Amino acid sequence: MNDEIITQILRKMLPYLENEQMKILQEILQHSFYGLQISRVEGYIKQEENVENSELLQKFIASKRVEGCSEKTLHYYESTIVKMFALLDKHVYKIRTDDLRQYLADYQKLNKCSQANIDNIRRILSSFFGWLEDENYILKSPVRRIHKIKTDKTVKETYSDEALEELRDHCTCLRDLALVDMLASTGMRVGELVKLNRADINFDNRECIVLGKGRKERLVYFDARTKIHLKSYLAERQDDNEALFVSLLAPHNRLNISGVEIRLRKLGRTLGINKVHPHKFRRTLATRAIDKGMPIEQVQRLLGHSKIDTTMEYAMVNQNNVKISHRKYIC
């Protein structure tokens, strides 16, 4: 009970004192309460505990929405934190580092998930408790002492030149051909692709503006082949939908992410090509750009990554550049 009261006092004084002053106050309180037994008065309810976990979560989600997070990301954040609340069954003020460590360990054992998945959960919890700390709801985030979880660096697949040509050759309609070319030549995210409208395309400069993560706009570029196939696809369309890519059947609604994924997966199964999905085009473009010597900062800008570390992951995908350099400088 003593530690709980000390924590409450420190939390309330957090906006008014510097770190050194907070440390002195904590030492004074611990010394003053040493040897004392404090009990709760019947019917007393702490003011902070009137704020339920669910209310704090909704405030956090609202702040992330203002920052520009997508609804898909917000749903992932919310569901992850709700699961943590359900299992720990504690108010956020009482959740400790050991509680969260045990939660992550139990979650991994129960769900048999990868280290990467567990680290994603850790990052979400870190974001939530970090926000609580910033907003002065808690004194210190319990996730601070839970470090990044090491994950295996696997060599991820990219499309070969032959695979890309096979995908193009076996497209049964102009829409799919234009879609494959657009993904392959721009390296855009599938979520960015499905948001595109006809008016967004600048055929003269072979470029278009996409709305990326964090609602940030950026220019992407496509090649001459994509321009030809995209123009042919748009010329044959009879609908008046503003969307760049629409369903093949009436009423020709805007194509969504799952529609693109299903179409590509079906095409891949037909050809016997392993793991055909939209993001693989993005990875392929980034890998080739790096292999051909494109500066990493330009690749970062092309892909719309906010952190260069994310772009650097693509530099480890294809080892051909390492092999060539070894032969050039060592052999």
Could you tell me the pLDDT band of residue 44, with boundaries at 50, 70 and 90?
very low
Whole-number average pLDDT of the chain: 87
Least confident of 47-61, 95-109, 136-150, 228-242: 47-61
Least confident of 43-52, 160-169, 235-244: 43-52
Q: Give residue 256's identity as a one-letter amino acid code.
A: N
For residue 316, pLDDT beyond 80: no
Residue 208 tokens, joined:
């278009």
- Which residues, 6 or more positions from 69, have their beta carbon under 8 angstroms from its beta carbon? 77, 214
For residue 48, pLDDT beyond 60: no
What's the average model confidence in pLDDT over 261-283?
Answer: 92
% of the chain exceeding 70 in pLDDT:
89
pLDDT of 67 reads 86
From the options 3.40.50.720, 1.10.8.50, 1.10.443.10, 3.90.1150.10, give the CATH code of 161-325.
Answer: 1.10.443.10
pLDDT of 322 reads 63
Q: Give the span between the Cα atoms of 126 and 161, in whole angstroms.
A: 41
Could you tell me the pLDDT band of residue 40, with boundaries at 50, 70 and 90?
low
Note the pTM of the prediction, 2 decimals.
0.67
- Which residues, 6 or more positions from 42, have their beta carbon under 8 angstroms from its beta carbon? none
pLDDT of 83 reads 95
Q: Are 223 and 203 in contact (CB under 8 A)?
A: no
C-alpha pair distances (Å), 308 with each of 152, 191, 250, 315:
20, 21, 43, 11
Could you tell me the pLDDT band of residue 193, with boundaries at 50, 70 and 90?
very high
The β-bridge relationship of strands 201-202 and 207-211 is antiparallel
Number of helical (H) and strand (E) elements in the chain, helices listed first: 15, 3
CATH architecture of 51-134: Orthogonal Bundle (1.10)
For residue 323, pLDDT beyond 80: no
For residue 139, pLDDT beyond 90: no
Residue bearing the bigger pLDDT, 230 or 29: 230
Q: What is the pLDDT of residues 198-255, one digit of tens each?
A: 999 999 999 999 988 777 889 999 999 999 999 999 999 999 999 999 999 989 999 9
Q: Are 220 and 188 in contact (CB under 8 A)?
A: yes
Residue 73 tokens, joined:
């990301």
pLDDT of 307 reads 82
Task: Count CB neighbours of 276 within 10 A.
Answer: 21
For residue 320, pLDDT beyond 70: no
- Which residues, 6 or more positions from 318, have their beta carbon under 8 angstroms from its beta carbon? 158, 287, 288, 290, 291
Least confident of 28-32, 42-46, 147-151, 210-214: 42-46
Among the listed residues 196, 176, 162, the one whose alpha carbon sits nearest the alpha carbon of residue 265: 176
Least confident of 91-100, 118-127, 175-184, 285-294: 285-294
Residue bearing the bigger pLDDT, 131 or 1: 131
Domain boundaries, the chain: 51-134, 161-325
Q: Give the span between the Cα atoms of 114 and 108, in whole angstroms.
A: 7
- Altogether, the residues listed in the chain come to a count of 331
Among the listed residues 242, 258, 241, the one whose alpha carbon sits nearest the alpha carbon of residue 250: 241
For residue 45, pLDDT beyond 50: no
What's 277-309 look like in SS3? CHHHHHHHHHHHHHHCCCCHHHHHHHHCCCCHH
Could you tell me the pLDDT band of residue 115, with boundaries at 50, 70 and 90?
confident
Residue 114 tokens, joined:
């990868």
